[in-house]
Amino acid sequence: MVDFSEYPKTDDTLPAHRLRLRNQERVELIMSFYRGLKIFRDLSRKSRAAASGFHFDDMDRLIEAELRQVKDSCHRLFRESKRSEVDRLLQAIFDMYFGILFHILLKAKENLRLREDYNVQRLESLLNGLRATRQMSHLPVGISKLFNRLAQELRRDSAELQGEMVGARFMFNQLETVFNRVIQVYQDNATIIRSLYCHRDFFAALFPSQGIDRLFAQIYPQNGPTQAYFLLGFDFLRSGHISEANESFVAAVKSARQRHIPFVRLRSLYNRYREKTLANLSGPGDTALAFQLRLRECEAQPLLRSLVGGSSEADRDTGEIRDTRETPAGMPSQKSPAVARRFRT
């Protein structure tokens, strides 16, 4: 893992290659936390259904493969100086609370190892056999008392383990709530959003019914995946990936329909990212011109035409996005020649 201790803590003071590594670690943190959360909940449900509790090997894999990375990344990433007071507080709370949970699970793992490696029932059976054959006198004085003490302490540890697992389930639920809020600071970080989108197969397996949209809904609580897809669309256009940009714009409109986002807000959101991207282009050079040509090609399609700031009066009055049989690359075809999709304002 990358050590940032010798570098300034804020993104704007990091060298470009260090910033790329930091963003990569942020993405890995997000993936590890949600994967670790799901694994823990799956193990918890499985243990309660089988009435056998957790197992040492499962807990060891969970801690070492997922949770240790979360803990270590939190120490590096959640101690930055240029965040709002609210964000810094939430990051500090998550860092501290997750650290406590991590050590509780480490203790639970060792209790599981003791329970599985030291079979009290077997020792008790051997001791009872000696009593039945009256061979206790061959043992050193105090062995029976020592065994009773050992069995009592192991039963106590087993009882503590059950309580620790109940507490861990509660702590994970609380941590999920805080983490969902913490990752909202990455709303405008196109590198992170694009990297998460590139791992959409991972999130489809993690969240079968919603996939990456569930994560985007946490990062963008007001506009949900729609906002993420608009950011992605313009980022793909900037890098010259027109087909991927079209797919993102289609996904944005689809998400807006599902969430019943008013057309006025949808158009405002689209133009906010449009204007921001154009403003960030460096001068009138070839790069800026190439982007504008790609943007013009996309906006010539019916799906985006009514979203552009200078759309027709008819579209502004009706608040409609019209889908026709004209199907650009990456855009879905429609069954009817003109199906009006109305966004109520």
pLDDT(63) > 90: yes
The C-alpha atoms of residue 265 and residue 189 are separated, in whole angstroms, by 21
Q: Give CA separation, 150 vs 2, 133, 143, 217, in Å.
A: 45, 23, 10, 51
pLDDT(327) > 50: no
pLDDT for the residue 49: 67
pLDDT(320) > 50: no
What's the mean pLDDT in 304-318?
61
Q: What percent of the chain has pLDDT over 90?
A: 52
Q: Give 326-329 contacts, CB < 8 A, sequence gap 24+.
A: 326/301, 326/302, 328/246, 328/298, 328/301, 328/303, 329/242, 329/243, 329/246
pLDDT for the residue 326: 39
What's the mean pLDDT in 314-325?
42
What's the mean pLDDT in 181-196?
96
The C-alpha atoms of residue 309 and residue 233 are separated, in whole angstroms, by 17
Asked if residue 340 lies in contact with residue 322, where contact means CB atoms within 8 angstroms, the answer is yes
Residue bearing tokens 């039963």: 155
pLDDT(211) > 90: yes
Helix residue ranges, H only, the chain: 16-50, 56-62, 68-77, 85-117, 120-132, 143-182, 190-198, 200-206, 212-219, 225-238, 242-259, 263-280, 286-299, 302-305, 313-318
pLDDT for the residue 314: 42
Q: Identify the weakest region by mean pLDDT among 39-48, 77-86, 315-324.
A: 315-324
Name which residue leads in pLDDT, 341 or 200.
200
* pLDDT tens digits, one per residue of 88-119: 899 999 999 999 999 999 988 988 887 777 76
- Please report, as a single letter, which amino acid is at residue 143: I
pLDDT for the residue 155: 74
- Please report, as a single letter, which amino acid is at residue 339: V
Name which residue leads in pLDDT, 330 or 290.
290
pTM: 0.78
- What is the separation, in whole angstroms, between the first and last Cα of the chain? 49
281 SS3 class: coil
What's the mean pLDDT in 122-129?
70
284 SS3 class: coil
Report the DSSP beta bridge partners of residue 321: 341
User: If residue 208 lies in a helix (H) or strand (E), which one and from where to where?
Assistant: none
User: What average pLDDT does the structure give for the chain?
Assistant: 82
DSSP-derived secondary structure for 57-84? HHHHHHIIIIIHHHHHHHHHHT--SSS-
The C-alpha atoms of residue 245 and residue 229 are separated, in whole angstroms, by 9
pLDDT for the residue 51: 55
What's the mean pLDDT in 9-25?
86
pLDDT(220) > 70: yes
pLDDT for the residue 284: 61
What's the mean pLDDT in 51-76?
90
What's the mean pLDDT in 301-316?
68
The C-alpha atoms of residue 69 and residue 74 are separated, in whole angstroms, by 8
pLDDT(312) > 70: no
* pLDDT tens digits, one per residue of 2-16: 454 444 467 778 888
